[in-house]
Structure 1
Amino acid sequence: MIPRPFHTTRTARYISLGEPGADIQHVWFCLHGEGQPLGDFAAQLVNFDTPERLLILPEGLSRYALPAPIAATPTTAATWFAPDSLLADLSDLTTYLDELAAQVLAQCPEGVPVTVFGYGHGAAAACRWLAGGRTRYDRLLLYASIFPPTIDRRATLVGLPERPVTLISTTTEAFTPEATGEALLQDMQDAGLKAQLRYVSEGPLTLAALGTVGK
């Protein structure tokens, strides 16, 4: 038995830290990690939430409930792609994020600088989106990046526009060797991308730690 694809409209969700408008000077699209609730992800980005910066946190399309203790509040998490439906998920991902970005940016000043931030599997999702989509962006930040083995990383990176890329790794947490970023840095450079690797300490991220003060 082979599952057959069927196209239908569905409702996605996102968190907006700030509101689109004429006063916005920077827009960030931030993609969460595998199984990371949006509320937890937003808490990691608290230092970036300023009046002139709009943070958009899309949620992956495949939502599921996380196990919780009895009587605890149910928590929802999401994934960006499943191993047995990768091509369809990547197509849906690109369409979803392109449409969301177009809607948000239409409400902001024309030409506002755009940063895309991806965490964990969200880094792979960001790369696939930007390599195959139509969204204009100015720089790419990838934190503890993890590419599932089903995704051809080198082929994905070759498709990225020539924009500055910063890879971020923590000095205290490396849940997989890949998350250290060294191999990804080499692949980025081999693809002709201007990339750098920065190390940060554990805890909420700061603009200074990412080398993006004031952006």
Structure 2
Amino acid sequence: MESSLHALPVTRTAHYAMLGKPGPQIKKLWFVTHGYGQLAKTFVNRFSGVTDEETLVIAPEGLSRFYWGGFDGPVVASWMTREDRLDEITDFCNMLDQLYALYVPQCHPETKIILLGFSQGTATQVRWIMRSFPKFDYLMLWAGQLPEDLDYEPCLEYFTDKQLFFAYGDKDPFISPKRKVLMDQILRDSKLSFQPVPYAGVHKVDRKALKAWWNGIDYKRTSSS
């Protein structure tokens, strides 16, 4: 007798970390997704240099946890694997939908919304965007690739009023010159207008580069008074 595999949706507890305090004073709301093998509580601290009393940073955590480097290694998280990936995508999109619905209404009505994904978290952000089409102002893909299996062309109008960025470090071992050519080609094929943000650094959200990028975009001119 052959075995068979089935799926059963269940309710589970998702975790997330936060910098700042929700409220109507918030005019800059960040949703940031970590990379493979990280935790939200440590990843969120990378953004302390771009926060103030009008900023709220929310870092959801991947729903799959595991021990890094063996049974006694540190506990880390992941967003998805090849196994049952569509179910995992649905689960983390539902999580992001709920966080967005919970915190956006608590902020200033004209708050700027910044979506940033790092490494594996870039695909997390983009898959959620292409499934739920949330309102946002800025998207930063940090050291990660735009998913190739999505069709962006029918959604070009949705992206026209948004600023899109792609950051990469010159010493990132995961972005070789050959890999960078491929990533650039995927961006061109998408027909989305991503602005490159190169920086001197490795495979991480570099605090100095993050602050320089954020201080250099036009949110100060367009933010509410």
Q: Same fold (TM over 0.5)?
A: yes
Q: TM-score, normalised by structure 1?
A: 0.85
Report how many residues are paired. Answer: 208
- Are the aligned partners of 1:31 and 1:123 in contact in 2 as well (CA < 8 Å)? yes
State how far apart, in whole Å, the 1-side matches of 2:16 and 2:65 are: 12
Indicate the structure (1 or 2) with the bigger Cα radius of gyration: 2
Shift of 1:32: 0.1
Indicate conservation of the 8 Å contact 2:79/2:120, yes or no. Answer: yes
Match of 1:36 in 2: 38
1:207 — aligned with what?
A: 211
* Residues in 1 aligned to 2:177 and 2:87: alpha-carbon distance in whole angstroms: 25
Q: CA deviation at 1:158?
A: 4.1
- The 5-angstrom pairing of residues 53-202 of structure 1 reads 53-67=55-69, 75-146=74-145, 153-155=148-150, 157-158=152-153, 161-162=158-159, 163-177=162-176, 181-202=180-201
The answer (yes or no) to whether the contact 2:152–2:191 under 8 Å persists in 1 is no
Q: Output the aligned Cα RMSD.
A: 2.6
User: Shift in Å at residue 195 of structure 1?
Assistant: 0.9
Structure 1: runs of 5+ lacking an equivalent? none
For 1:159 and 1:101, the matched residues in 2 are separated by: 24
Give the Å deviation of 1:35: 0.7
Deviations 1:76-127 (A, max 9, x none): 2111112111111111121110111110111111231111000000001111
Retained in 1: the 8 A contact 2:18–2:44?
A: no
- Alignment match, 2:223: none
Distance 1:97 1:172, change over 3 A: same
Q: Which residue of 1 aligns with 2:29?
A: 27
Q: 1 CA distance for matches of 2:58 and 2:18?
A: 5
Instruction: Give yes or no for contact 1:157–1:188 (8 Å, CA) kept in 2.
Output: no
- CA distance change for structure 1 residues 42 and 129 in 2, over 3 Å: closer, same or farther? same
Question: If each structure's helix is expressed as a fraction of its own residues, which one has the higher value?
Answer: 2
| Alpha-carbon distance between aligned partners in 1 of 2:84 and 2:77, rounded to the nearest angstrom | 15
